[in-house]
Amino acid sequence: MDEDRKIVPEGSVQSVQVESLAEHPSQHTIEAQSALSDRGLRALKDGDAFAVLDSYGDHGLVPDSPEGLFYRDTRYLSRFALRIEGRRPLLLSSNIQDDNAALSVDLTNPDIHIGNGAAIPRDILSINRTKLLWQGACYERIGLRNFDRDAHRFGLDLVFDADFRDLFEVRGTPRKQRGKSSAAIVAPDRAEFHYMGLDGTSRHTTLHFNPAPKILEAGRASFDITLGPDQRTSILVTVACDEAAQARPSNFLTAYRDTRRNIRATTTHIATVESSNNLFNEVACRSISDLYMLMTRTEAGLYPYAGIPWYSTVFGRDGIITAMLLLWVDPLVAKGVLRYLAAHQATSIDPTTDAQPGKILHERRQGEMAMLDEVPFRQYYGSVDATPLFVMLAGMYFERTGDIQTVTALWPNIEAALAWCDTYGDADGDGFVEYRRETEHGLANQGWKDSYDSIFHADGSSAEGPIALCEVQGYVFAAKRAAAELASALARPELAMRLAAEAEQLRGRFAKAFWCEEIGSYALALDGHKQPCRVRTSNAGHALFTGIADPHHARLVARALCGNEAFSGWGIRTLAGGEPRYNPMSYHNGSIWPHDNALIALGFARYGLKDEAAQIAEAIFAAATYQESRRLPELFCGFIRRKHRGPTAYPVACSPQAWAAAAPFGLLAACLGLKLSHPKDEICFADPVLPGFLDEVVLRGLQLGGSRIDVRLNRHGKNVTVDILSREGDARIVLSK
């Protein structure tokens, strides 16, 4: 997902013993000119539009920031700021509403000296801003109220601009030339910006003001406001992008109503979580709100866009893993992801996009730079793991739903994905799936840890390709086992037997080639010379998630991952302390990712290591309690946990991020041993445990086929009991060891 992202905060040191990482610059690096974590930024999203705002509801006041109103990978409004008599108001409060429908900001006036002896004492005027996105437009209501016993007259200005910069420009990628921009006042209440891109696409931003301002010019709308004692008034602003700019957008109240209705309609069918811990309830509610804000309706169904600000688009790997972690809550997400990725599966060879027949999409972009191939991500296939993960998800979805109709429609895509794994994915025929980018413009590393410095040997030297990653072999193993089950369901027994046999053969090869006794874990990868990268990483935990690990090795991996060098107290680090390139402030070499920990916890649970799974759940939950709005970010730094302080933020982590938001549901499923099996018509809790911060959990609306069940789980010492609160249908509840 991360386009070779390499962020090194000022003053950090990379522990590399052999080579200088500065010799490997990447054109896809995200520049870290300022930290997102210290800005108090607010994010809104609807469909292909998202906004990044400061806590005042403004944006564009800080140079080189990701703030603005974006639509389809282009910034349509780069500056928008409210001023009262030329001064910035005083901030009282700023909150994204619980369901992410809108941003609400309360402001008041500073001391204002207007001239001629006139003055407005501070805290006299209440200024309330409500902002939301709906169908390609940003709507804002600015409510003003005078709490003084005297009337006051003052000027209010809205300052605005549109730079139409591509998202990759905003991220720091330089361009030699750009298209042409213009601005015009098209009516007393309407201003318009226009950009003719080098890709031949015309982009428009239209601002509409109600009431019409006293003065409207390119970049400024000025209002002359007079408020008597306790008098109120409002200013409504609509900023429409592209198609919405050409049509007549909704009014504010209609857009606000429709936004809330859409959220309710999208989430009405999902399972919900309540617990005895109010903080955990807040984490779960925020995660659901974030997930369904990031959901985008496509022609194939719901798709979780990866994250804001840098990844508000389709990513194959992210969408699949998010759907996996959310599968027990809402299987419709998996259905939408599978159908979308099947529709965009590669059918031909294209080295410029790393495409090969059967390969699953990595990333899709719609901005000017992608259309001009200045970046290779218009429809890019440079991930080695999305293809087997696609097949894994298809198997998990069928197990969860029994939806044979969807599986039948997807079967040609599943076969094509398996064929890719056996041919293009294993070009040297050694039985392992490897990657090597086809051109210098593609991603150098193509697993989930796709920073250019993330794959290396024990001496710190970079691994040369083609590279076979540890976790990818597990994904292929699980994909073949899943495909064998699907083939059986489709009455293809011979194919099912062959795929199951191939999976077992891979298990044996994997154990011999990847197990490293000296580190008590699996190698990070095999390089192009089939030499193992004997480095302790979180990747080994994914082998447990997929089931490719043998039980003895699984226990040793868990012991290593829960040891002091890998486990910080806030979660499992991507790279263990003491390894070359270890840096707790790095992107992939010592940081902590919630989704990574959730997959590892599910792996622990698969092998009966429930206490270890609960240990991870407690750590990630504790980290979430220190986050604003209880929102888990994309990642945070891997410094050791200390008393009376929270985890250290990563400077440019996306927040919200889909697979981070889905992590609490994967962690809870791991602890509870929760599995919904349509073929067995049962909801199983296998040796459930509740982590120490939970005494009781209530799951409502668990749906399996035609059944809908509410259950309560209570902890009694080390034991957990399961009570059925309500039941519709015949699905069985099973408590097993």
**Residue 533 to residue 449: CA distance in whole angstroms:** 14
Q: Where among 201, 236, 262 does a domain terminate?
A: 262
Domain membership of residue 124 (yes or no) is yes
Q: What pLDDT is stored for residue 35 in this prediction?
A: 56
Judge if 229 and 302 occupy the same domain.
no
- Residue-wise pLDDT for 456-498, tens only, equals 999 999 999 899 999 999 999 999 999 999 999 999 999 999 9
Q: Where among 262, 292, 320 does a domain terminate?
A: 262
Domain membership of residue 15 (yes or no) is no
Band (pLDDT 50/70/90 cuts) for residue 441 is confident
Domain membership of residue 294 (yes or no) is yes
Is residue 7's pLDDT more than 70? no
Q: What pLDDT is stored for residue 245 in this prediction?
A: 63
Is residue 698's pLDDT more than 70? yes
Judge if 478 and 377 occupy the same domain.
yes
Share of the chain above pLDDT 70, in %: 94
- Residue-wise pLDDT for 647-689, tens only, equals 999 998 999 999 999 999 999 999 999 999 999 999 999 999 9
- Residue-wise pLDDT for 158-173, tens only, equals 999 999 999 999 999 9
Domain membership of residue 736 (yes or no) is no
Average pLDDT of the residues in 571-595: 97
Q: What domain count does the chain have?
A: 2
Is residue 23's pLDDT more than 60? no
Q: Where among 613, 642, 672 does a domain terminate?
A: 672
Band (pLDDT 50/70/90 cuts) for residue 17 is very low
Q: What pLDDT is stored for residue 116 in this prediction?
A: 76
Band (pLDDT 50/70/90 cuts) for residue 737 is confident
Contact 708, 729 (CB under 8 A): yes
- Residue-wise pLDDT for 315-333, tens only, equals 999 999 999 999 999 999 9
Judge if 387 and 475 occupy the same domain.
yes
Q: What pLDDT is stored for residue 12 in this prediction?
A: 35
Judge if 590 and 451 occupy the same domain.
yes
Instruction: Burial-class residue 528 by CB neighbours within 10 Å (0-12, 13-18, 19+).
Output: middle
Residues facing 160 on adjacent strands: 80
**Residue 193 to residue 186: CA distance in whole angstroms:** 10
Judge if 154 and 49 occupy the same domain.
yes
How far CA 45 is from CA of 29, 255, 306, 370, 533, in Å, comes to: 24, 14, 12, 21, 41
Domain membership of residue 407 (yes or no) is yes
Is residue 243's pLDDT more than 90? no
Judge if 284 and 369 occupy the same domain.
yes
Is residue 9's pLDDT more than 50? no
**Residue 572 to residue 561: CA distance in whole angstroms:** 7
Beta-carbon contacts of 11 under 8 Å, excluding residues fewer than 6 positions away, are: none
Residue of 60, 70, 109 lying closest to 86 (CA atoms):
109
Q: What pLDDT is stored for residue 718 in this prediction?
A: 87
Band (pLDDT 50/70/90 cuts) for residue 48 is very high
Give the lowest-confidence range in 436-445, 564-573, 580-589, 600-609.
436-445
Length in residues, the chain: 737
Domain membership of residue 356 (yes or no) is yes
Average pLDDT of the residues in 569-597: 97
Domain membership of residue 717 (yes or no) is no
Average pLDDT of the chain to the nearest whole number: 93
What does 659-705 look like in DSSP terms, one character per residue? HHHHHHHHHHHHHHTEEEETTTTEEEEES----TT-SEEEEEEEEET
CATH number at residue 205: 2.70.98.40
Band (pLDDT 50/70/90 cuts) for residue 502 is very high
Three-state DSSP class for residue 64: coil
CA dihedral 554, 565, 23, 635 (to 10 degrees): 80
Judge if 195 and 313 occupy the same domain.
no
Judge if 229 and 285 occupy the same domain.
no
Is residue 5's pLDDT more than 50? no
Judge if 277 and 225 occupy the same domain.
no
Three-state DSSP class for residue 655: coil
Domain membership of residue 331 (yes or no) is yes
Rounded to the nearest angstrom, the gap between the alpha carbon of residue 325 and the centroid of all alpha carbons in its chain is 12
Band (pLDDT 50/70/90 cuts) for residue 16 is very low
Judge if 152 and 228 occupy the same domain.
yes
Q: What pLDDT is stored for residue 684 in this prediction?
A: 97
Judge if 248 and 279 occupy the same domain.
no
The three-point CA angle 295-299-300 to 5° equals 75
Q: What pLDDT is stored for residue 386 in this prediction?
A: 98
Q: What pLDDT is stored for residue 340 in this prediction?
A: 98
CATH number at residue 458: 1.50.10.10
Q: What pLDDT is stored for residue 115 in this prediction?
A: 75
Three-state DSSP class for residue 25: coil
Residue 249: which domain range?
31-262
Judge if 447 and 356 occupy the same domain.
yes
Share of the chain above pLDDT 90, in %: 90
- Residue-wise pLDDT for 551-562, tens only, equals 999 999 999 999
**Residue 38 to residue 681: CA distance in whole angstroms:** 49
CA dihedral 43, 270, 390, 552 (to 10 degrees): 100
